[in-house]
Amino acid sequence: MRHRVKRHRINRPKDHRIALLRNQARELIEHGSIMTTVSKAKALKVFFDKLMSKAVKAASTDDKIRSMNLRRQINRHLGDRRLTNKFVDEIASKHVDRKGGYVRIIRVGYRRGDGAEMALVQLVEAEE
């Protein structure tokens, strides 16, 4: 029985799943949108919203130590300091007033090879 166990497993062991989500989060930060399957997109949305919440806190706080700590936590997942700084300074600073929902999933159709349902994952633009 799976009582109170809610997580997207996407048919992978834990290490592979975490590596996949980290790679997809990196690509989403670099390019702004990626194409993937719907199940991976749903798992990425949960993972990325947690990262973005930390980045927004790091961008909005005036405390240097708190900001540095949050950047280190983000860098643990991204593995690239330049990408972390871009994420916090450029992307997250636009979303300071937003409460959540930083990622949009748009279903696009089915993959030709195996018929898997595909989705476009995009960063939501901040309201100007």
Domain hosting residue 92, numbered range: 14-123
Q: Render the chain in DSSP notation, one character per residue.
A: --TT-----TTS-HHHHHHHHHHHHHHHHHHSEEEEEHHHHHHHHHHHHHHHHHHHHHHH---HHHHHHHHHHHHHHH--HHHHHHIIIIIGGGGTT--S--EEEEEEEE-TTT-PEEEEEEEPPPP-
In a domain, 6, yes or no: no
Which CATH number characterizes residue 74's domain? 3.90.1030.10
The 10s digit of each residue's pLDDT in 44-76 is 999 999 999 999 999 999 999 999 999 999 999
The 10s digit of each residue's pLDDT in 7-57 is 889 999 999 999 999 999 999 999 999 999 999 999 999 999 999 999 999
